[in-house]
Amino acid sequence: MPFELSEEQLMIQGMVRDFAREQLLPTAMERDRTKAFPIENLKKMGALGLLGMMVPPEYNGAGVDTVSYVLALQEVAYACAATAVVMSVQNSIVCETLNRFGTEEQKRSYLKRLASGEVIGAFALTEPHAGSDPVSQSTSAVRDGDAYVLNGSKRFITSGKNAGITIVTAKTDKTKRHKGISAFIVEKGTAGFSVGKTEEKMGLCASDTTDLHFEDCRVPAKNILGAPGDGFKIAMTALDGGRIGIAAQSVGVAQAALDAAVSYAKEREQFGQPISKFQGLRWMLADMATDLAAARQLTFYAAARKDQGEKYTMEASMAKLFASEMVNRVTAAALQIHGGYGYTKEYPVERYYRDARVFTIYEGTSEIQRVVIANHLLEDRYVGTLR
Ligand code: CAA
């Protein structure tokens, strides 16, 4: 499918590119060192409509399509991948989920504040012993009068410490598999809800990843998303969109690494000439650019299917799988092209390399994406429909 961007999409891309390169890029390296959460930048992004991009304007969103969101996220990731993951979780997993499954009251109380960027959102599915297999989670939610009482712990929660609103899954019926899982909106400050340890990570240092604890935490019954037992489907639907976000993030970081490698190869001289004159490096650059172009198209394809109301679970997994593996290849090659300097903090490529490493892991590992793709391929209705 040849992909042509509309005037509006190009305008959004240009606006976010200018913002990200002026406001986010100059301080990204410093943020990586200090691990400072980019709250001031996120406020500016909220004002620009970047934190609720696909949410309708009546709930303070920008009301744009997924392709525009992908373009914006690529630009933010190009400048600062840690800021991009906060943006991705906020848009794809939190806002989209509330917009799709929330009641009118939930949208007015929570979605409006999230989409405007007034509060940061988090999504708590993973537990210490339930990562790739979220059905095996053990956090419980027991109905008690007009509330559910939550007990248990969540792990690796992006923005866990900084979120004002968190969507939490928990088992409301332990006798059932996925149909015993429900999803709840939990506000910061709710009694019995606390933030545990913050992970010391290899990359994405300015984005916090934390444990969350629930001890007899009473959540109003009206804060359940959908019906009791809908939680797993809500989480899987959220992750379909989230995986497009991670693919876009991968494309953005890979573009930054490729640009850095091209410019370094042109300026660095060895053996009396720029290293860009050597065929070995030229072929590396050619492969990086080709890999990146393929990932970008897969990401647009998944986003466009979503915008057209088509099924896109498999395509989102394909985009996430290919793009996240691609960015690991591209950042490694970019670092290699920089030689010894690439291994130092004088140049940004070592940060790209570290930041990209988690992309094949979070929001479903590469192995889980292959499970999803194979499951869909082997369904009868998919035979002959790949195009
Ligand atoms: N959309 C809607 N429903 C879906 C779905 C989807 N994409 N995928 C599955 N379902 C439904 C199925 O239709 C089925 O429902 P029915 O029984 O009504 O037919 C139900 O869910 C169970 O499906 P499966 O039997 O296929 O479920 P499973 O237990 O075998 O798991 C899995 C499937 C794909 C492996 C899934 O567990 C999975 O995606 N695992 C990875 C989890 C993951 O990505 N975690 C990331 C954590 S979040 C994160 O990283 C966020 C962050 O902070 C950055």
pLDDT tens digits, residue range 254-266?
Answer: 999 999 999 999 9
Ligand 1 close to Cβ of residue 84 (< 6 A): no
Report how far residue 195's alpha carbon sits from residue 197's, in angstroms, rounded to the nearest whole number. 7
Q: What percent of the chain has pLDDT over 90?
A: 97
* Ligand 1 atom having least distance to the Cα of 88: 54
Catalytic (active site) residue 363: yes
Question: What is the secondary structure of 225-246 as a DSSP string?
Answer: ESSTT-HHHHHHHHHHHHHHHH
Place of tokens 């629930």: 214
pLDDT of amino acid 79: 98
pLDDT of amino acid 1: 45
pTM: 0.97
* Ligand 1 atom having least distance to the Cα of 131: 45
First to last CA, the chain: 8
pLDDT of amino acid 3: 72
Output b/e per residue, 243-272; b: 16+ Cβ within 10 A: bbbbbbbbbbbbbbbbebbbebbeeeeeee
Residue whose CB lies within 8 A of the most ligand 1 atoms, among 177, 239, 312, 314, for a mutation test: 239
Cβ neighbours of residue 165 closer than 8 Å, sequence gap 6 or more: 94, 110, 113, 114, 119, 120, 121, 122, 185, 186, 187, 188
Residues in the chain with pLDDT values less than 70: 1-2, 380-387
pLDDT of amino acid 379: 86
152: left (phi over 0), alpha (psi -120 to 50) or beta: left
Greatest CA separation found in the chain?
A: 79
Report how far residue 113's alpha carbon sits from residue 35's, in angstroms, rounded to the nearest whole number. 25
Report H helices in 121-230.
Answer: none
Residue whose CB lies within 8 A of the most ligand 1 atoms, among 136, 168, 178, 361, for a mutation test: 178
φ and ψ of 266, to 5 deg: -80, -30
Ligand 1 close to Cβ of residue 368 (< 6 A): yes
pLDDT of amino acid 383: 58
Q: How many CB atoms lie within 10 A of CB 297?
A: 16
pLDDT of amino acid 4: 86
Among 297, 320, 309, smallest CA distance to 239 is for 320
347 close to 338: Cβ distance less than 8 angstroms: yes
* Ligand 1 atom having least distance to the Cα of 240: 7
pLDDT per residue over 170-189, tens digit each? 999 999 999 999 999 999 99
